[in-house]
């Protein structure tokens, strides 16, 4: 791989052992996929940080890096961890919080922003065309498809190492020629609500796998768009989608295979009549608009019924905005629990809930696989109606 003089210095250890280790791994991985050079990044987002996922080996790897003097060279943020650091919501296994905090402290030492959210674009929106290294699949697909920034689906450690040297290898979705649709998807549905958007995303991911779909569909808002994209990145390995009317980059669809998706193709268990123990919104983490919408529903339907729970999971930056506006307090008065820093998929929920209902296609996909929970799909409004008994 070609390295500039400055990159060579880092590779040879002139900026310390931690940067050298980071650079050598990035170069090795890049060479394995045939990358000819590196590209400078402006922003990194690390994922896979729950102690539940990385255990002692991951924690010790991060602590070693931090102790060797590793420091982020670019703006860097963090994905959700295994629990809400601001209040007790989930009974944690013995020693879990202490180990999770050691992970966070290692990142703090390395100069990462402790955002703990899967929507880093609500903390700082990258610019169109900017090269970044993000490691959360729902954020990656949003960045490529909606924002027009450029990132591959970086594995957890790679995004951390990329932050430390401010570079990643130039391959995949960083390169213009690779940002081309591989299949056309025509969505023949009427109005698409958030739950349907999740089901649609799961279907597209299943069909497209690691391809790039060009999607023609009825116009949806940002919430449904985020839910759809996150779902296709979960059921498939989709890193980018062209959504007609949303994605700014041009796409040539001539000669592509065309697949139609209609109502019968996206049936998902609705289970509206069936009671769930937890009603949950915020996968990907809720935006301030989501919180305002949910408040509107509660103001028309009432409060969470006794024996039921309603969670909104969000990032601490969005929570601060909701608190400033008074939205958070009003939601909480209706019995809503606003959870920051984590989400039901990455938290060690164990058998805390046997049945969960959500508007998220990604959570629909993962909750049963990760926790063995039965999952129902409902729109945000249907969730509020079910939780309030209306
Ligand atoms: Fe975010 Fe958790 Fe969903 S990390 S995208 S809320 S699975």
Cα angle: 267, vertex 271, 273; to 5 degrees:
140
The last residue of one of the domains, among 216, 238, 265, is 265
The last residue of one of the domains, among 211, 232, 265, is 265
How confident is residue 270, by pLDDT bands cut at 50, 70 and 90?
low
- CA distances 28 to 33, 34, 133, 312, 328, Å, are 9, 10, 17, 41, 47
How confident is residue 110, by pLDDT bands cut at 50, 70 and 90?
very high
**Ligand 1 lining (C-beta closer than 6 Å):** 79-80, 118, 138, 230, 283-285, 313, 343, 345-346, 362-363
Same domain, 82 and 160: yes
Nearest-Å Rg of the Cα atoms of the chain is: 21
- Residue 106 CB contacts under 8 Å (≥ 6 apart), including other chains: 59, 62, 63, 65, 66
- CA distances 331 to 181, 327, 336, 389, Å, are 41, 6, 6, 17
Q: Is the pLDDT of residue 268 over 80?
A: no
Same domain, 141 and 186: no
Same domain, 113 and 224: no
Q: Which atom of ligand 1 is nearest to the CA of 346?
A: 2
Q: Is the pLDDT of residue 267 over 80?
A: no
The last residue of one of the domains, among 119, 153, 176, is 176
How confident is residue 344, by pLDDT bands cut at 50, 70 and 90?
very high
How confident is residue 380, by pLDDT bands cut at 50, 70 and 90?
very high
Query: Tell me, what's the pLDDT at 156?
Result: 75
Same domain, 200 and 135: no
How confident is residue 23, by pLDDT bands cut at 50, 70 and 90?
very high
Same domain, 281 and 236: no
Q: Are 305 and 277 in contact (CB under 8 A)?
A: no
Please state the φ and ψ torsions of residue 180, each to the nearest 5 degrees: -135, 140
> How many structural domains is the chain composed of?
3
Same domain, 184 and 227: yes
pLDDT tens string 194-209: 999 999 999 999 999 9
For ligand 1, the distance from its centroid to the CA atom of residue 29, given in whole angstroms, is 26
- Residue 358 CB contacts under 8 Å (≥ 6 apart), including other chains: 279, 280, 281, 283, 364, 367, 375, 376, 377, 378, 383
Same domain, 123 and 47: yes
Query: Tell me, what's the pLDDT at 269?
Result: 56
For ligand 1, the distance from its centroid to the CA atom of residue 284, given in whole angstroms, is 5
Mean pLDDT for the stretch of residues 74-81 = 97
Same domain, 141 and 247: no
Query: Tell me, what's the pLDDT at 134?
Result: 98
Q: Are 142 and 121 in contact (CB under 8 A)?
A: yes
For ligand 1, atom 2, the nearest C-alpha belongs to 343
Residues spanned by the domain of 294: 273-388
Q: What's the rounded Cα separation, in Å, for the pair 58 and 318?
A: 28
Bond prior to 249 in cis (omega within 30° of 0): no
- CA distances 239 to 129, 131, 284, Å, are 15, 14, 15
Q: Is the pLDDT of residue 188 over 70?
A: yes
pTM of the entire predicted model: 0.97
Q: Are 179 and 157 in contact (CB under 8 A)?
A: no
Pocket test for ligand 1, best of 47, 205, 345 (most atoms within 8 A of CB): 345
CATH, residue 330:
3.30.499.10
Q: What's the rounded Cα separation, in Å, for the pair 302 and 384?
A: 9
Query: Tell me, what's the pLDDT at 350?
Result: 84
Same domain, 26 and 141: yes
Element housing 381 (H / E): helix 380-388
Q: Which atom of ligand 1 is nearest to the CA of 285?
A: 6
Q: Which atom of ligand 1 is nearest to the CA of 344?
A: 2
Same domain, 171 and 193: no
Same domain, 246 and 123: no
Q: Which residue has the higher pLDDT, 75 or 50?
A: 75
For ligand 1, the distance from its centroid to the CA atom of residue 143, given in whole angstroms, is 15
Strands 355-358, 167-169: parallel, antiparallel or unpaired by DSSP?
Answer: unpaired
pLDDT tens string 290-333: 999 999 999 999 999 999 999 999 999 999 999 999 999 999 99
Alpha helices in 287-373 (DSSP H): 288-301, 316-325, 327-333, 361-371
How confident is residue 139, by pLDDT bands cut at 50, 70 and 90?
very high
Q: Which atom of ligand 1 is nearest to the CA of 80?
A: 4
Quickly list DSSP for 202-229: HHHHHHHTTS-EEEE-----HHHHHHHH
Neighbours of 169 (CB within 10 A): 25
Same domain, 35 and 164: yes
Pocket test for ligand 1, best of 362, 367, 368, 375 (most atoms within 8 A of CB): 362
- Average of per-residue pLDDT values in the chain: 95
Query: Tell me, what's the pLDDT at 326?
Result: 98
For ligand 1, atom 6, the nearest C-alpha belongs to 283
Q: Which atom of ligand 1 is nearest to the CA of 137?
A: 5
Query: Tell me, what's the pLDDT at 50?
Result: 87
């Amino acid at each position: 791989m070609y390295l500039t003089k400055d990159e060579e210095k880092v590779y040879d250890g002139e900026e310390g052992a931690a940067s050298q280790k980071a650079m050598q791994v990035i170069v090795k991985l890049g060479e394995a996929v045939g990358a000819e050079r590196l590209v400078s990044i402006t922003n990194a987002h690390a994922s896979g940080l729950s102690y539940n996922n990385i255990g002692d080996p991951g924690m010790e790897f991060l602590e070693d890096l931090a102790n060797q003097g590793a420091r982020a060279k670019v703006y860097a943020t963090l994905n959700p961890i295994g629990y809400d650091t601001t209040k007790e919501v989930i009974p944690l296994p013995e020693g879990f919080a202490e180990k999770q905090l050691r992970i966070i402290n290692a990142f703090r030492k390395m100069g990462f922003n402790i955002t703990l959210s899967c929507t880093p674009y609500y903390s700082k929106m990258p610019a169109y065309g900017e090269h970044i290294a993000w490691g959360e699949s729902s954020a990656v697909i949003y960045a490529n498809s909606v924002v027009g920034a450029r990132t591959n689906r970086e594995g957890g450690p790679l995004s951390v190492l990329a932050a430390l040297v401010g570079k990643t290898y130039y391959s995949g979705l960083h390169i213009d020629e690779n940002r081309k649709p591989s299949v056309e998807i025509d969505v023949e549905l009427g109005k698409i609500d958030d739950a349907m958007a999740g089901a649609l995303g799961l279907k597209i991911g299943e069909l497209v796998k690691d391809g790039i779909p060009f999607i023609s569909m009825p116009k949806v808002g940002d919430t449904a768009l985020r839910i759809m994209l996150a779902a296709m990145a979960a059921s498939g390995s989709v890193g980018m989608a062209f959504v007609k009317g949303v994605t700014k980059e041009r796409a040539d669809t001539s000669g592509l295979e065309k697949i139609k998706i209609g109502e019968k193709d996206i049936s998902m268990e609705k289970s509206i009549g069936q009671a769930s123990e937890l009603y949950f919104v915020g996968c990907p983490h809720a935006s301030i608009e989501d919180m305002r919408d949910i408040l509107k529903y509660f103001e028309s339907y009432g409060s969470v019924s006794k024996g039921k729970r309603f969670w909104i999971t969000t990032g601490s930056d969005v929570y601060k905005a909701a608190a400033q506006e008074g939205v958070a307090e009003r939601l909480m008065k209706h019995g809503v629990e606003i959870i920051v820093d984590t989400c039901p998929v990455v938290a060690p929920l164990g058998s805390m809930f046997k049945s969960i209902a959500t508007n998220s296609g990604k959570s629909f996909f993962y909750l049963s696989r990760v926790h063995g929970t039965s999952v129902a799909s409902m729109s945000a409004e249907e969730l509020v109606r079910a939780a309030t008994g209306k």
